[in-house]
Amino acid sequence: KQEVTQIPAALSVPEGENLVLNCSFTDSAIYNLQWFRQDPGKGLTSLLLIQSSQREQTSGRLNASLDKSSGRSTLYIAASQPGDSATYLCAVMVSGGSNYKLTFGKGTLLTVNP
């Protein structure tokens, strides 16, 4: 059974700091890995998707890496801003026979202080 763990559970940093969020998964047989942002009481906003054959993806100040063999991914946020404050979720897509489903971690709650 695939399990996804995110460390740390919560992180508080001053504005302008670079930071790294970690995600690990137990089964390397994944199709892709996705990072999401979730604001309080809201739905999911997709940030980056990395296919299983890729090593990293970049979008603006965000960079996500994937090491499938070791079951790890990191989300790097450069020059953090108060607007980056949110919960960040990592999810891996796995096959459950005929279906393809996402297995999520519990998230990292990020607070960026002005």
Measured from the Cβ of residue 47, the count of other Cβ atoms closer than 10 Å reads 19
List phi, psi (to 5°) of 13.
-135, 155
Contact 53, 39 (CB under 8 A): no
Q: Interface with other proteins includes 93 (CB under 8 A)? A: yes
Q: Interface with other proteins includes 69 (CB under 8 A)? A: no
Q: Interface with other proteins includes 3 (CB under 8 A)? A: no
Binding mask 30-59 for other proteins (x = CB under 8 A): -xx-x-x----xxxx-x--x--x-------
Q: Interface with other proteins includes 110 (CB under 8 A)? A: no
Which of these segments, 12-20, 64-72, 73-81, 101-109, binds other proteins (CB under 8 A)? 101-109
Residue number, 14 or 40, with CB nearest to other proteins: 40
Q: Interface with other proteins includes 102 (CB under 8 A)? A: yes
3-state SS assignment for residue 52:
coil
